[in-house]
Structure 1
Amino acid sequence: MMKKHLLILSAAPIFALAACGGNSNGGTDAMNSGDTVTNVPAGETSMGDNMGGMNGMDGNAMAATPMTGQDFANTVAASDAYEIAAGKLAQQKATASDLKDFGKQMVEDHTKSTAMLKTAGSKASPAITPAPAMTDEQQANLQTLQSATGTAFDTAYKSQQVVAHQKALAAVQAYAGGGDVAQLRDFAKDAEPVISKHYDMIKGM
């Protein structure tokens, strides 16, 4: 009688997320259904089935492999730049009033975030200066929003924002739990409830 052996294959997690990034098709393929964002209520991963940018990663895996301080600062700075630009477009182009209002809040909150990030980085030793250059993905997202009109814009903006805030929440939680720069850990802890609030808001629209 032959014994059957079960071979379990697991992909090594790769911590390579861009906070508040989204993607060029509206954001629906940036994460997959296997992803877990700590503190996100159960049963609220309806967009996860088609998401792939954080394949094989969960909150515990990411917490075990946090970004460096410079990488985290750059990620947040790029996220803020994307959110501000996308928020301005939402104020101009969204047909739904709640999305216009959300866009306005994104501009305000992420402008504050940028200022707080710079302050935190300046207090580190050695000091860390965030590089706000957006990723190719974030730039592609903005191009999608610039091209979209009417309700198509609303759909693309909301889709991008849901995924972007899932990513952002995972990033700040991971860095807050194991980041290498104390000042940036404190920033991440302060940013977490704000991003969580944004995430809840956009999902409810």
Structure 2
Amino acid sequence: MKRHHLLATAAVLLFTAPALSLAQTPAPAKTVTEKGQLAQQDMTFAEKAAISDMFEIQAGKLAQDQAKEQGVKQFGSHMVADHTKTSDAMKTMAREKSMTLPTKLDSEHQQKLDKLRGLKGDQFDSAYLQGQMDAHQTAVTLFRQQAENGKDADLRRFAEQSLPTLEQHLRQVRDLRPNVASAAGGAAQQSTSFEKMMGKDVYGENGKKLGDVADIILDAQSGKATQVILNRGGVLGIGAKHVALDYNLLRSDSDRLVARQVTEDQVKQMAEFKYDDTTVSLGKRHGTSSGSSVDHNATGHNTGAAGGDAAHGTANSLDSTQPRNPQ
């Protein structure tokens, strides 16, 4: 009887052992993150990406309204369109994964946006593009790290798919910045190059010195250089004579300026140049009139209506600001 009981007990243990063993074996680690169980790295990425999109959309709308250059306005429009798409995609994933995304900018991005709101024209263009350069460099790094090291498969895929667009934005802003800087910073660049011309010797094609640059006259409407005022002779401005040469006759030759088709005898016969109330000039503004007796105010000699703008206009210049080479 005892033997039958022992056999029955052994049979029960034999059939129940595998079940107990399976029940005690730990479940394998899951490769797909469950809802509400995102790794901290993934959550940080999602939050930063959401804030980045919000900033790009709001800054892009400001660019459409406040930028001066058409290229900046168009870039802002593209940012609104592209980042609205990525923002919508992120929001869809957030719902699926029970993520809570930021609904407003953090203090850092809000401050940047507030600063942009207070700018207009050239100042806005410069600040906006610099901000876009910084923002997209940061975004490219963020998305690349997520694409390579993210834990959540969906967020990795999102980063991989978004990265080419962000890299394209970065290339666009890099290409756009020099063009806008050239237009927006034209006045400053022109001022610097004219400053280099002031006091520079001007020679005839035969190598004889004709004088030195005392001033540059601008067209009151376009702001382009029209004449160069030569200072001839005199000591400390006493006995000096100022004559006007056509700006387009000048060419840059190494470290000197050469006046084409102009001889020393012709210059001697030229009448003294006289300033009047409509003259727009730059010489005195730079304080490099070579000791001449030219008397015009510190912002360039001008009382014409367009003078203030013309004095900061674009020059038809050589070496981007110097007289051109012979035709």
TM-score higher than 0.5 here? yes
Q: Secondary structure at the match of 1:111?
A: helix
Runs of 4+ off more than 4 Å = none
Q: 1:99 to 1:67 in 2, by over 3 A?
A: farther
Corresponding position of 1:202:
173
Corresponding position of 1:144:
115
Q: Secondary structure at the match of 1:134?
A: coil
1:135 Cα deviation from its structure 2 partner: 1.9
Measure, in 1, the Cα distance between the counterparts of 2:104 and 2:41: 17
Task: Tell me, yes or no, if structure 1 residue 79 matches structure 2 residue 66.
Answer: no
* Matching residue's letter, 1:96: E
1:121 Cα deviation from its structure 2 partner: 3.0
Q: 1:67 to 1:160 in 2, by over 3 A?
A: farther
1:149 Cα deviation from its structure 2 partner: 1.3
Task: Tell me, yes or no, if structure 1 residue 113 matches structure 2 residue 86.
Answer: yes
Alignment of 1:12-23 (within 5 A): none
Alignment of 1:39-54 (within 5 A): none
Corresponding position of 2:62:
89
Task: Tell me, yes or no, if structure 1 residue 68 matches structure 2 residue 60.
Answer: no
**Structure with more helix by fraction:** 1
Measure, in 1, the Cα distance between the counterparts of 2:40 and 2:48: 9
The range that moved more, 74-83 or 132-141, is: 132-141
Corresponding position of 1:135:
106
Task: Tell me, yes or no, if structure 1 residue 178 matches structure 2 residue 149.
Answer: yes
The range that moved more, 130-139 or 80-89, is: 130-139
Unaligned runs of 5+ in 2: 1-38, 177-327
Corresponding position of 2:161:
190
* Matching residue's letter, 1:165: H
Q: Secondary structure at the match of 1:95?
A: coil
Measure, in 1, the Cα distance between the counterparts of 2:118 and 2:160: 36
Per-residue displacement from partner, 1:133-191 (whole Å, max 9, x unpaired)?
31211111111110111100000000000000000000000011111211111100011
Q: 1:134 to 1:120 in 2, by over 3 A?
A: same
TM-score (norm 1): 0.64
Task: Tell me, yes or no, if structure 1 residue 104 matches structure 2 residue 104.
Answer: no
Measure, in 2, the Cα distance between the counterparts of 1:151 and 1:204: 17
1:67 Cα deviation from its structure 2 partner: 6.0
Corresponding position of 1:166:
137
Measure, in 1, the Cα distance between the counterparts of 2:112 and 2:166: 19
Corresponding position of 1:26:
none
The range that moved more, 128-137 or 144-153, is: 128-137
Cα root mean square deviation, aligned = 1.5
Measure, in 1, the Cα distance between the counterparts of 2:88 and 2:115: 27
Higher relative contact order structure (alpha carbons within 8 Å, sequence separation ≥ 6): 1
* Matching residue's letter, 1:118: K
Greater gyration radius = 2
Measure, in 2, the Cα distance between the counterparts of 1:110 and 1:186: 17
Q: Secondary structure at the match of 1:152?
A: helix
Per-residue displacement from partner, 1:56-94 (whole Å, max 9, x unpaired)?
xxxxxxxxxx96221111111101110010000000010
Aligned length: 138
Measure, in 2, the Cα distance between the counterparts of 1:68 and 1:112: 23
**Structure with more strand by fraction:** 2
TM-score (norm 2): 0.41
